[in-house]
Structure 1
Amino acid sequence: MDASTGADLAGMADAVLQPGFMGKEPPPWLRRRLAEGLGGVALFARNVVDRDQVAELTAALRAEKPDVIVAIDEEAGDVTRVDAHIGSPWPGNLALGAIDDPALTREVAGHIGRDLASVGITFDYAPDADVNSDPNNPVIGSRAFGAEPDRVARHTAAWIIGLQEAGVAACAKHFPGHGNTSVDSHLDVPIIKASRSDLEATELVPFRAAIDAGVLAVMSAHLRVPAIDADLPATLSRRVMTDLLRGELGFDGLIVTDGIEMRAISDRFGLARATVLALAAGADAICVGGDHADEATATMLRDAIVAAVRSGDLPEERLADAAARVARLAAWSAAAPKVAPDPRAAELGLSAARRALRITAPDAAFPVAPNPYVIEFQPQLNFAIAPETPWGLIAPLAELLPETAGVRLSSEEPLPSALEASLGRPLVLVVRDPHRYPWMADALRASLAVRPDAVVVEMGVPADPRGDIHIATFGATAASGRAVAELLAGR
């Protein structure tokens, strides 16, 4: 270990942290730590009111540290932070993959980048480069561009180029691939059982495309890949982070962890040890979110990093390299030219959502009558989706057809009364991934047995069409809901 001072080590340790915080403005502890050298800040839906407020927040952050990396998880699909309270005006990755027009994907990402840059955000934890191989995946699903590696690869590359052209750093996630699992790493450790050759043919294809497209960052996944490392999750594995990502794939940008507090690693290793192991494995930045967005956690992690260097568990050269990579990304972000948002962006998002619709129906099946009844079936949303994010058809359809009524169900029990309320009115059944929820699939079958004339709208990952009239949106964003509402209302 070099003879660095305690202040030097603490500064480098602070530089590699990207903590979240509570509230709509920076708390005093965060301002102080930024002045001391904290490298980045992660924003979540809890920090957002509207764009004017976010711009004020990021300006306050930069008043303490002009080149701070301000990061956010803005996939601009079902996972949105900037629009968590109103729903995303974009159709999302799965819809873009269904359209399969990489030029459109690049244009959409460019508008997203302009929007983020205009409010002072410099780093986006997106795009999702996972291949959603397992239809029962509880955490990826509509966040992926699809289940075909080449399709995911070309749209991942297009998204990255569009976002970075707008001056916001992109981050391909979740390396080496989170699509082929039915376990959510927020809760437990997924295991990708693919062989090395299968990884090369599937999971790694979009990440190679991302690197070729010049992606500035890659986010690690908290899962085990026995074909590469039988013991440690990817985030903590040198074989994955350094040997594979840096060595074999040739990635030279920033490696950032997924939320270090996620139970897939924190339950077994604890926050402090997981942070040290991730840095030793090759990660350069540690994302800290969840319920650990406070000064005590940020201080504990900084002190744990310093102690690990002093004990020899973390080479100082590795910490210095990580801090230098953070500084390099910060410098790129500060220097990148920013482009003002385009007022036509909202119309582009809605146009894309319209293009994504896939309709199975008899001729002249639309529009429905002016007084539809909508039954929405509420799944258990994955942890990546902000719980306050609106979705569904009742609200957007009521804007166009004011006599619209409906109900949202989270179980089969209230279904008979809901079906009774729909008598004499056109019925619209709205589902998300019924193939993953037996109660929802049963409720859908029961509904169609009573009302075979119902319109079925699938706002998740579409499986086999159900019912004579079926509409797939490939996502549940505000734009997707509006596109279906227009169709049903004959607009």
Structure 2
Amino acid sequence: MSPDLHRLAMAVLQPGFEGTTAPDWLRRALGEGLGGAVLFARNLPSEHLIPQIRAENPDTVIAVDEEGGVVTRFEARSGSSFPGNRALGVADDEALTERVGRQIGRMLAEADVTLDYAPSVDVNANPANPVIGVRSFGPTSGLVSRHAVAYIRGLQSAGVAACAKHFPGHGDTITDSHLALPTVHATVEELWERDLPPFRAAIDAGVRSVMCGHLLVPALDPSLPATLSRTVLTGLLREELGFDGMLVTDAIEMKAVAARYTPGEIAVRALAAGVDAICVGITTEQGLRELRDAITAAVLSGELAESRLAEAAARVRAIAEWYGKQDRSAAEDPGVGLEAARAALTVTGAATLAGAPLVVEVNTRLNQAVDPSTPTGLTAALAARLPGTERVVMAAEGELPAFDERPVVLVVHDSARHAWVRERIAQAVRVRPDAVVVDTGIPGEPAGAAFVATNGLSRVSAEAAAEWLTT
């Protein structure tokens, strides 16, 4: 095996790993040409980790999922300082979205992160979508396109590369690709009218990266997931939409593809289809080397052209080179997250909490993209204002607790999606018509004395709701 081929294969891999320090195997791999690494909440916060990676290879593409709102890695333990995409779409102030994007970029730039796997530019066209939901700017392509451009402009003005995802659009699905392969049942005409315009807008705005989704789109390719389809990735994204930046996969251990192919098969097929970087959410030294060996074997057998691998590695280097030339000194914009959360708050009815309430969290299972340690935050936000606030967590499809004389706040998520959640709201309001309902997701019909929709999960969204309920 030639050293050059070995390094090319390593250059296109972006593995995740355990721990808050760089493991020895990762450091060795960086010295052998590993092109990137992806960080998760399990790795953060850590003041030593990124410098350790940079010490081995200053040009490593360090990536993270920092969307704001419910998907946060740097602020998973406290909740995000920025509302997510749906909140920004509801506020519908493009200048505000750009400011939020810039501050997320500023936070990442201060930590020396190269690439943010954000924003999601999926159009949430299907209300039953279990994985996009509040991660989308909204249900229409025009709204999503406008805010995608604003977010990308803000993020990249802070010197951090943006990544538009999940190509060709994960919005019209009812399956979570972490768990199974979703199918997008849309015609080519519908795709061009609804799902593709935000990607075109992102490309026109100069987005540095695109992430492909593990999606079956029969109108484009009836047999292969988009991640492995040359028709979708080279024909559509490269040739028709004109994208020439770095194309990265969603994590290849997601069951949408992992249930059908081995990691090596996914990597080789994705690279042949037009992908430049392989995201591996978590791996080991052995797993990384098996991927490297599968790629080099594919080149030696003729299954994967060496010129295609070299092109992919060059696009990964181009992201690092772009990052190295950026001014990463964006001005601080304190309070912009809370400002955006307030602008996104929608309220029906009126109520002010006169005393410390009983907060009943009617838990629905958050999707697999959300770190399990990310808090909902409303109880803490109310307790800071009303000492003595208590919380009861109701298990999925469990029964409501008995109420006493205290004010009742019912916290739900995505009541538009869950019939059993709507039934619990109705039960609570029958017993306590003065109950306040707070929906942190995509809300259903208003109920209760006041119905507050935060339009997303974040620390600042909880603070905005608590502020409204107590003043």
Structure 2 counterpart of 1:404, one-letter code? T
Matched, 1:352 2:340: yes
Q: CA deviation at 1:440?
A: 1.8
Structure 2 counterpart of 1:237, one-letter code? S
Q: What is residue 303 of structure 2 aligned with on the other side? A: 313
Matched, 1:271 2:263: yes
Q: Distance in 2 between matches of 1:408 and 1:316?
A: 55
Matched, 1:435 2:416: yes
Three-state SS of the structure 1 residue aligned to 2:139 is coil
Give CA deviations for 1:58-98 in whole Å, capped at 9, x if unaligned.
11111000111100000011000000111001111100000
Q: CA deviation at 1:412?
A: 4.3
Q: Distance in 2 between matches of 1:487 and 1:404?
A: 16
Matched, 1:405 2:402: no
Aligned match of 2:107 in 115, 118, 123?
115
Q: Which runs of 5+ in 1 are unaligned?
A: none
Give CA deviations for 1:164-222 in whole Å, capped at 9, x if unaligned.
11000000000000000110000111000100000001000100110010000000000
Q: What is residue 356 of structure 2 aligned with on the other side? A: 371
Aligned match of 2:40 in 37, 44, 51?
44
Contact 1:115–1:341, Cα closer than 8 Å, also in 2: no
Contact 1:23–1:46, Cα closer than 8 Å, also in 2: yes
Contact 2:356–2:383, Cα closer than 8 Å, also in 1: no
Structure 1 counterpart of 2:6, one-letter code? A
Would you identify which runs of 4 or more consecutive aligned residues in structure 1 move more than 2 Å?
A: 411-414, 434-439
How do residues 272-291 of structure 1 correspond to structure 2 at under 5 angstroms?
A: 272-289=264-281
Q: CA deviation at 1:411?
A: 3.3
Contact 2:100–2:337, Cα closer than 8 Å, also in 1: yes
Q: CA deviation at 1:366?
A: 3.6
Contact 1:26–1:60, Cα closer than 8 Å, also in 2: yes
Q: What is residue 171 of structure 1 aligned with on the other side? A: 163
How do residues 17-416 of structure 1 correspond to structure 2 at under 5 angstroms?
A: 17-49=13-45, 53=46, 55-289=47-281, 292-339=282-329, 342=332, 344-345=333-334, 347-361=335-349, 365-415=350-400
Contact 2:365–2:396, Cα closer than 8 Å, also in 1: no
Q: Report the aligned-residue RMSD.
A: 1.1
Q: What is residue 465 of structure 1 aligned with on the other side? A: 446
Q: Distance in 2 between matches of 1:29 and 1:293?
A: 11
Q: Distance in 2 between matches of 1:412 and 1:449?
A: 18
Q: TM-score, normalised by structure 2?
A: 0.98
Contact 1:118–1:341, Cα closer than 8 Å, also in 2: no
Give CA deviations for 1:416-475 in whole Å, capped at 9, x if unaligned.
xx2x2x321111111101232333222111111111111111100122223341111100
Contact 2:72–2:371, Cα closer than 8 Å, also in 1: yes
Q: Distance in 2 between matches of 1:393 and 1:62?
A: 38
Q: CA deviation at 1:332?
A: 0.5
Q: CA deviation at 1:392?
A: 3.9
Structure 1 counterpart of 2:340, one-letter code? A
Give CA deviations for 1:333-353 in whole Å, capped at 9, x if unaligned.
1121111561x43x1111111
Three-state SS of the structure 1 residue aligned to 2:406 is coil
Three-state SS of the structure 1 residue aligned to 2:416 is helix
Q: CA deviation at 1:294?
A: 1.4
Aligned match of 2:407 in 423, 426, 432?
426
Contact 2:102–2:158, Cα closer than 8 Å, also in 1: yes
Q: Which runs of 5+ in 2 are unaligned?
A: none
Percent sequence identity over aligned pairs: 53
Q: Distance in 1 between matches of 2:436 and 2:237?
A: 46
Structure 1 counterpart of 2:131, one-letter code? V
Q: Distance in 2 between matches of 1:441 and 1:358?
A: 18
Moved more, 446-455 or 189-198: 446-455
Structure 1 counterpart of 2:388, one-letter code? E
Contact 1:396–1:482, Cα closer than 8 Å, also in 2: yes
Q: TM-score, normalised by structure 1?
A: 0.94
Contact 1:188–1:263, Cα closer than 8 Å, also in 2: yes
Q: Distance in 1 between matches of 2:48 and 2:313?
A: 27
Structure 2 counterpart of 1:373, one-letter code? L
